[in-house]
Structure 1
């Protein structure tokens, strides 16, 4: 078995895309995986079925990550079944407006900021006590390259994810002495996801032309970096941000 044997990983927003790819990979590496979803129960169960068919262990649990009571119920259910969560992969993406600042309302921008930070706050609050008690934990947040490199009409998402990245750094400073690492994975454009439609074909061609590795990321590319942070190879890394963009942006 692998180094992940026995660990329990909660992947939020895991019914498709990056979340599903991450759930499958962590399970393949020996972790027991909680597939969180909001609406897509059938898709989540298909992810679980695929993991189980490959010899892994997984369960699907419905919870709106912005709802503290729902998250607490989910975490309690996982605790009863598997004894608590060791790894959090916070991937769930709340809705956001795609428009320029001149057309945006405060409800749209402020609402995205509130949703983003509320969800991160709620799920982190729910899992940190167990990690602290064990003296070991991994918190991994999915950001976006848009928090560093602006693109037209993406101010709501980019601003909210920039806040999330700074939140993670503060957590890294506070939780390091407790054996918990905190890191952020920042994908560039990712093909084969529900939000990949944001780029039209001409925009995709331009993005690929600007990428030294010659293609957009796939969900599996992002999942492998998440899995690195979830394991022991990254044990002395915290407060870091990993760009997964094929060299489109270098920092």
Structure 2
């Protein structure tokens, strides 16, 4: 059976690397994007040029109608979605708590959980019907290890991780595994600019493996969780940080 994987926010960075790797491993992949159509089409085109199957589909996964339409389009072409990799990153403020408004903090919490809620609801019926599924959510090490100015992202992702644990408990009897991948700092992504050269130097020095992650490092862990071999790990969180933080 050829599995179908939906990767939200996959026009670049970790999402694109994950889409490429899952395609290399024989899955049909759906490249979801919000604004970056050209980049998403390039990712899909590269996968197809390498012999894989991919489609690029625009959708704001915070919107119920858009999420349902996305899943219906995939169902019409390839059947139900077997694997969800929820990687889409909604905007967030980078500032100290004392300078932050509730709209900035509460808005990020709402966006984070709304997107996870909407897209999970949309893919769940097909997974339930076949008694098999993989739900993988991208978190962040900032949900455990605070860093100045990152309270909105860290708090929202901590809530996402707990959301995933509750899903793991509820959906396990249906043959659906639910896991979280928590990267530390990742180079070569759209948000890596938040680290200046001195911060990168310090973080590299604090990493036992001697470098920061790149998207392919994270994609490899996601691909394990997405695969057939991962039949007995659920409710877990994988830290992909080169040993910078050990939990």
Q: Give the TM interval when normalised to the shorter protein.
A: over 0.9
Q: Distance in 1 between matches of 2:30 and 2:162?
A: 26
Residues 210-242 of structure 1, C-alpha deviations (whole Å, 9 max, x = no match): 000000000000000000000022210000000
**CA apart distance, 1:208:** 0.2
Task: Kindly indicate whether residue 22 of structure 2 is the aligned counterpart of residue 53 of structure 1.
Answer: no
Q: Distance in 1 between matches of 2:152 and 2:118?
A: 20
Residue 115 of structure 1 corresponds to which residue in structure 2?
111
Q: Distance in 1 between matches of 2:228 and 2:71?
A: 23
Q: Distance in 2 between matches of 1:233 and 1:196?
A: 32
Q: Distance in 2 between matches of 1:116 and 1:43?
A: 23
Task: Kindly indicate whether residue 14 of structure 2 is the aligned counterpart of residue 18 of structure 1.
Answer: yes
**CA apart distance, 1:109:** 0.1
Aligned-CA RMSD value = 0.5
**CA apart distance, 1:16:** 0.2
Counterpart pick for 1:160 among 153, 156, 172: 156
Counterpart pick for 1:146 among 142, 145, 162: 142
Counterpart pick for 2:239 among 227, 243, 247: 243
Residue 220 of structure 2 corresponds to which residue in structure 1?
224
Residue 171 of structure 2 corresponds to which residue in structure 1?
175
Q: Distance in 1 between matches of 2:83 and 2:147?
A: 32
**CA apart distance, 1:154:** 0.1
Residue 71 of structure 1 corresponds to which residue in structure 2?
67
**CA apart distance, 1:142:** 0.1
Question: Helix, strand or coil: the match of 2:177?
Answer: strand
Residue 183 of structure 2 corresponds to which residue in structure 1?
187
Residue 104 of structure 1 corresponds to which residue in structure 2?
100
Q: What's the TM-score, normalizing by structure 2?
A: 0.99
Residue 32 of structure 1 corresponds to which residue in structure 2?
28
Gaps of at least 5 residues in structure 2 are none
Counterpart pick for 1:127 among 123, 127, 137: 123
Count of residues paired in the alignment: 247
Q: Distance in 2 between matches of 1:206 and 1:139?
A: 34
Q: What's the TM-score, normalizing by structure 1?
A: 0.98
Q: Distance in 2 between matches of 1:21 and 1:68?
A: 26
Q: Distance in 2 between matches of 1:229 and 1:25?
A: 13
Residue 199 of structure 1 corresponds to which residue in structure 2?
195
Q: Distance in 2 between matches of 1:232 and 1:86?
A: 11
